[in-house]
């Protein structure tokens, strides 16, 4: 910042049309991402990166779904021989790891990375190259995990990897090490995403968008990002302890030498419980957006909705022992967690009541996104109730680790997170691609999914009551579990069909769907103020926000901000609470260094699986790439800019 006196202000008339054309042209050129491999590899555009995240996560979703289908084929009949015990163990572990780490968290964060900057009127996330790095690390981690899976080195200890089973004595080979390090990749990507979201939301909002006027979806992503920040380091700690136990003979989890097998469970579940809320809270944001748009009124009870999401975020950290009710911990202590686990139902309940109130007071439109929201409410209530039931210690001690639990969490995860996610797909597909998805195929998708999901998972409640434990590769015919398992498998086939319909819908609509225009639904938030798909620079001029529903209140006469440069990637930074303009930030141009840093990170973690010398090999490589990344740009350019500004 120069210490010289600033030039005296000269008032000027609003930009003329020819000026706006020139601005648009220059912005296109400055923010351009031409087609081609190198621009794709070096892209720092948040939309480009978020789209990759979403597509990659969907591929992992399909892979995990195929794993589930194979498991269901194995379990359809007793003493089946589709999968032996070793293969089945790898399959259910991969299904869990893929769904939780490679699909659910990344896709939720990606929806945030795409839509939060648009909804807050920003040009990009706060740290564009870091964003790219996060994606590459995620992709490398996912590819690595599946490569190892195909090489018979896929983890087979469950996604929760309890010691001592995953420890050095009972898990020979490198499978559990792959498990430990693969999680690290996804967790780095999640942390990167959360840092992006927090800083972008706090510092890059359009002027006038006070915290009180932020869309509920943005609040949801903010809460989720903070949860990621506080939860992910614990799974990193746990898995690195495990990796160290296996590689360099530490004794973190060895009771004979002062460690504790339960330590793993505490560390893992202290992450693991917030993890499911990390997946669930963005879905709350999706539902709020969809309900507002398709009832044509803002969501009822904005302050209460915000406080409920924040309360969910906080309370989510106080529940973890409910995964350990059968381990013989003291009863009084466990009762605290019963209380907390029940308490978290209150903010979720409040949100459901507020949505119902919104629907009541508004004028609903029966589009596919709205159908998915209705499905969400029904399924999530079922899952929520079974959750309240298993919050009770005595009842949980009966059904823990049985198929009742499998039923519960699939209801809350599929009903509570995946249904809103699909609603969000149908809602925002026009914005991302400029084309509408087919409503007819969408309805088929919804109903097959809804019916299939219930057919698959409702019988599992009964199976749990009949004593069927989890993670079993087969069961005896005498148990009588065969019929319900067959029913569940038929439900799984239905779900697979509905997913196929979704893919067909997407492919058809990309080619020949109805053109969408800027605002096909009449939404209330800022992403509908720009083109579909948005240009690389999002908005020609950052808008000024005057209310909670800028599109409805301000409409086409929305005030804008001028003064950002068009020849470099200039973005606006505003204050935290009231979003007053604060400074400008120059964003970096596309760069290959995030990709190289991600490759160096991959080398570091993969070599660490085989030898502790991996740290010595990988760390300098990583530091080298970070050096390249952070190398300052030429000084003379800055000075030239300063000189020009004084003129």
Partner 1 sequence: MTASGMLSLIQQSHSVLNPSSPQARLIDRLWDAMYLVSVIVFLLVVAALLWGTFRRRGPEAPETDPGRERSLTTAVSIATALTVLILFGFLIYDVAVGRQLTRGFGKEALQIRVIGHQWWWEVQYRDSIPKNWATTANEIHIPAGRPVALELLSNDVIHSFWPPTISQKRDLIPGKDNSLWLQADTPGVYRGQCAEYCGNQHAKMGFLVIADRPDSFASWLARQRDTALTPTTALTRRGQEVFLASTCVMCHAISGTPAGSRIGPDLTHLASRQTIAAGTLPNTRGNLAGWIVNPQSIKPGTRMPPNQLDPNDLQALLAYLESLK
Partner 2 sequence: MSSRFRNTAFAGQRGRSGYGCHPERSEGTIAMAFNRPFGSFASLRMTIASLRMTIFATTVLTLVGCQREERNFQGMPPSATSTMPATRQTGLQPGPPVRSGPMNGPYEQNAYGVSQGKTLYNQFNCSGCHFQGGGGIGPPLMDDQWVYGSSPENIFETIVEGRPNGMPSFGGKISPDQIWQITAYVRSMSGLLRKDVATGRNDDMQVRSQEQAADKAKPVQSVIPPSAERQ
Q: State whether residue 247 is helix, strand or coil.
A: helix
Q: State whether residue 427 is helix, strand or coil.
A: helix
Which tokens belong to 199? 């800083």
Residues 279-308 that bind partner 1 (CB under 8 A): 296-297, 300-301, 304
Structural contact between residues 527 and 119, judged by C-beta atoms closer than 8 angstroms? yes
With tokens 């949100």, the residue in question is: 351
- Can you tell me which of 314, 353, 447, 458 binds partner 1, judged by CB under 8 A? 353
With tokens 């026009």, the residue in question is: 430
Q: What is the largest CA-CA distance in the chain?
A: 90
Of 306, 297, 115, residue with least CA distance to 210: 306
How many residues touch partner 1 (CB under 8 A)? 81
593 binds partner 2 (CB under 8 A): yes
Structural contact between residues 542 and 121, judged by C-beta atoms closer than 8 angstroms? yes
Residues 399-418 that bind partner 1 (CB under 8 A): 399-402
Nearest approach, Cβ of 44 to partner 1 (angstroms)? 42
Residues 584-643 that bind partner 1 (CB under 8 A): none
Torsion of CA 586, 587, 590, 594, to 10 degrees: 130
Structural contact between residues 540 and 21, judged by C-beta atoms closer than 8 angstroms? no
Q: Select 216 or 572, whichever has its Cβ closest to partner 2.
A: 572
**Other Cβ atoms closer than 10 A to 638:** 12
Residue 473: contacted member of partner 2, partner 1, none (CB under 5 to 8 Å, by partner type): partner 1
Q: Select 52 or 175, whichever has its Cβ closest to partner 2.
A: 175
Angle among Cα 233, 215, 516 to the nearest 5 degrees reads 110
Residue 2: contacted member of partner 1, partner 2, none (CB under 5 to 8 Å, by partner type): partner 2
CA distances for 297 relative to 216, 357, 371, 398, 525, angstroms: 13, 11, 17, 45, 12
167 binds partner 2 (CB under 8 A): yes
- Can you tell me which of 517, 582, 586, 623 binds partner 2, judged by CB under 8 A? 582
How many residues touch partner 2 (CB under 8 A)? 86
Q: Select 39 or 533, whichever has its Cβ closest to partner 2.
A: 39
Q: State whether residue 208 is helix, strand or coil.
A: coil
397 binds partner 1 (CB under 8 A): yes
Nearest approach, Cβ of 96 to partner 2 (angstroms)? 19
Residue 148 CA to residue 610 CA, distance in Å, equals: 13
Q: Select 127 or 355, whichever has its Cβ closest to partner 1.
A: 355
Residues 519-548 that bind partner 1 (CB under 8 A): none
262 binds partner 2 (CB under 8 A): no
Nearest approach, Cβ of 466 to partner 2 (angstroms)? 29
Structural contact between residues 524 and 546, judged by C-beta atoms closer than 8 angstroms? no
Residues 45-104 that bind partner 1 (CB under 8 A): 84-86, 89
- Can you tell me which of 591, 598, 608, 622 binds partner 2, judged by CB under 8 A? 591
Structural contact between residues 584 and 573, judged by C-beta atoms closer than 8 angstroms? yes
Of 105, 126, 121, 128, residue with least CA distance to 48: 128
- Can you tell me which of 283, 359, 495, 499 binds partner 1, judged by CB under 8 A? 359
Structural contact between residues 180 and 132, judged by C-beta atoms closer than 8 angstroms? no
Residue 157 CA to residue 166 CA, distance in Å, equals: 6
- Can you tell me which of 41, 174, 210, 260 binds partner 1, judged by CB under 8 A? 260
Nearest approach, Cβ of 66 to partner 2 (angstroms)? 21
Of the candidate spans 15-23, 220-228, 458-466, 612-620, the one that interacts with partner 1 by CB under 8 A turns out to be 458-466
Nearest approach, Cβ of 337 to partner 1 (angstroms)? 11
Q: Select 124 or 338, whichever has its Cβ closest to partner 1.
A: 338
637 binds partner 2 (CB under 8 A): yes
Q: Select 144 or 337, whichever has its Cβ closest to partner 2.
A: 144
Nearest approach, Cβ of 124 to partner 1 (angstroms)? 35
Q: Select 505 or 549, whichever has its Cβ closest to partner 1.
A: 549
- Can you tell me which of 335, 562, 611, 641 binds partner 1, judged by CB under 8 A? 335
Q: State whether residue 570 is helix, strand or coil.
A: strand
How long is the chain? 647
Residues 538-567 that bind partner 2 (CB under 8 A): 544, 559-567
Residue 517: contacted member of partner 1, partner 2, none (CB under 5 to 8 Å, by partner type): none
Residue 470: contacted member of partner 2, partner 1, none (CB under 5 to 8 Å, by partner type): partner 1
Nearest approach, Cβ of 158 to partner 1 (angstroms)? 5
Residues 441-500 that bind partner 2 (CB under 8 A): none
The DSSP 8-state label assigned to residue 101 in this structure reads I
Nearest approach, Cβ of 34 to partner 2 (angstroms)? 8
Q: Select 109 or 245, whichever has its Cβ closest to partner 2.
A: 245
Residues 267-326 that bind partner 2 (CB under 8 A): none
**Other Cβ atoms closer than 10 A to 307:** 14
Q: State whether residue 319 is helix, strand or coil.
A: coil
Structural contact between residues 601 and 612, judged by C-beta atoms closer than 8 angstroms? no
Q: Which residues face 585 on adjacent strands?
A: 571
Which tokens belong to 562? 């001028």
Of the candidate spans 38-46, 102-110, 454-462, 527-535, the one that interacts with partner 2 by CB under 8 A turns out to be 38-46
Residue 435 backbone dihedrals phi, psi, to 5 degrees = -130, 150
164 binds partner 1 (CB under 8 A): yes
Residues 138-157 that bind partner 1 (CB under 8 A): none
10 Å CB burial of residue 263 (0-12, 13-18, 19+) is middle
333 binds partner 1 (CB under 8 A): no
Nearest approach, Cβ of 477 to partner 1 (angstroms)? 8
10 Å CB burial of residue 85 (0-12, 13-18, 19+) is exposed
- Can you tell me which of 181, 186, 338, 574 binds partner 1, judged by CB under 8 A? 338
- Can you tell me which of 69, 307, 343, 561 binds partner 1, judged by CB under 8 A? 343
- Can you tell me which of 354, 453, 572, 608 binds partner 2, judged by CB under 8 A? 572
Question: In what helix (H) or strand (E) does residue 574 lie, and over which residues does it extend?
Answer: strand 570-574
Interaction pattern, residues 467-506, with partner 1; x per rule: CB under 8 A: x-xxxxxxxxxxxx--------------------------
581 binds partner 2 (CB under 8 A): yes
Residue 277 CA to residue 431 CA, distance in Å, equals: 27
Residues 186-225 that bind partner 1 (CB under 8 A): none
Which tokens belong to 174? 């490198």
**Other Cβ atoms closer than 10 A to 80:** 15
Residue 400: contacted member of partner 2, partner 1, none (CB under 5 to 8 Å, by partner type): partner 1
């Amino acid at each position: 910042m120069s210490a010289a006196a600033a030039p005296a202000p000269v008032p000027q008339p609003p930009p003329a049309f020819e000026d706006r054309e020139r601005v648009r042209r220059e912005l296109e050129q400055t923010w351009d991402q031409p087609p081609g491999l190198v621009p794709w590899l070096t892209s720092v555009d948040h939309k480009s990166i978020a789209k990759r995240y979403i597509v990659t996560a969907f591929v992992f979703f399909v892979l995990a779904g195929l794993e589930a289908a194979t498991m269901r084929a194995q379990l359809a009949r007793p003493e089946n021989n589709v999968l032996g015990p070793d293969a089945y163990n790898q399959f259910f572990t991969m299904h869990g790891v893929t769904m939780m780490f490679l699909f659910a968290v990344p896709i939720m964060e990606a929806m945030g990375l795409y839509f939060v900057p648009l909804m807050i009127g920003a040009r990009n996330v706060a740290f564009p190259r870091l964003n790219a790095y996060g994606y590459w690390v995620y992709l490398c981690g996912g590819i690595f995990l599946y490569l190892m899976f195909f090489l018979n080195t896929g983890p087979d200890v469950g996604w929760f990897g309890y010691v001592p089973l995953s420890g050095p004595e009972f898990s020979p080979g490198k499978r559990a090490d792959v498990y430990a390090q693969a999680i690290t990749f996804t967790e780095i990507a999640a942390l990167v995403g959360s840092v992006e979201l927090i800083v972008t939301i706090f510092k890059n909002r359009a002027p006038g968008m006070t915290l009180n006027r932020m869309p509920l979806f943005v609040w949801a992503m903010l809460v989720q990002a903070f949860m990621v920040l506080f939860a992910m380091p614990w799974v990193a700690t746990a898995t690195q302890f495990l990796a160290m136990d296996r590689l360099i003979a530490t004794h973190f989890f060895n009771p004979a030498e002062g460690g504790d097998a339960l330590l793993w469970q505490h560390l893992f579940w202290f992450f693991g419980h917030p993890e499911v809320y990390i997946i669930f809270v963005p879905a709350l944001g999706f539902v709020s957006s969809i309900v507002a748009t398709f009832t044509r009124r803002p969501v009822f009870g904005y302050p209460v909705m915000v406080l409920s999401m924040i309360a969910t975020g906080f309370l989510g950290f106080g529940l973890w022992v409910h995964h350990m009710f059968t381990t013989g911990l003291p009863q009084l202590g466990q009762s605290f967690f019963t209380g907390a686990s029940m308490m978290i139902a209150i903010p979720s309940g409040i949100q459901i009541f507020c949505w119902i109130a919104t629907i009541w007071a508004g004028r609903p439109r029966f589009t596919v996104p709205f159908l998915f929201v209705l499905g969400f409410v029904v399924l999530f209530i079922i899952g929520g109730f079974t959750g309240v039931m298993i919050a009770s210690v005595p009842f949980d001690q009966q059904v823990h680790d049985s198929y009742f639990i499998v039923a519960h969490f699939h209801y809350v995860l599929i009903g509570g997170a995946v249904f809103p996610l699909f609603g969000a797909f149908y809602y925002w597909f026009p914005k991302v691609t400029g084309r509408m998805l087919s409503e007819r195929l969408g309805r088929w998708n919804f109903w097959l999914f809804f019916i299939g999901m219930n057919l698959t998972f409702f019988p599992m409640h009964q199976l749990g009551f009949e004593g069927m434990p989890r993670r079993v590769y087969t069961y005896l015919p005498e148990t009588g579990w065969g019929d319900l398992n067959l029913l569940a498998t038929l439900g799984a086939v239905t779900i697979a069909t509905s997913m196929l319909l979704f893919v067909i819908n997407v492919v058809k609509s990309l080619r020949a769907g109805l053109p969408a225009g800027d605002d096909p639904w009449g939404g209330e938030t800022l992403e509908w103020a720009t083109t579909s798909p948005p240009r690389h620079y999002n908005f020609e001029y950052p808008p000024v926000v005057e209310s909670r529903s800028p599109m409805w209140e301000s409409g086409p006469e929305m005030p804008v901000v001028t003064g950002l440069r068009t020849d470099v990637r200039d973005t606006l930074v505003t204050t935290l609470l009231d979003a007053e303009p604060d400074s400008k930030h120059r964003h970096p141009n596309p760069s290959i260094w995030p990709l190289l840093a991600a490759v160096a990170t991959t080398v570091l973690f993969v070599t660490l699986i085989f030898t502790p010398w991996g740290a010595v090999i990988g760390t300098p490589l990583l530091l080298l790439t970070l050096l390249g990344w952070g190398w300052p740009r030429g000084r003379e350019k800055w000075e030239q800019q300063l000189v020009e500004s004084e003129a």
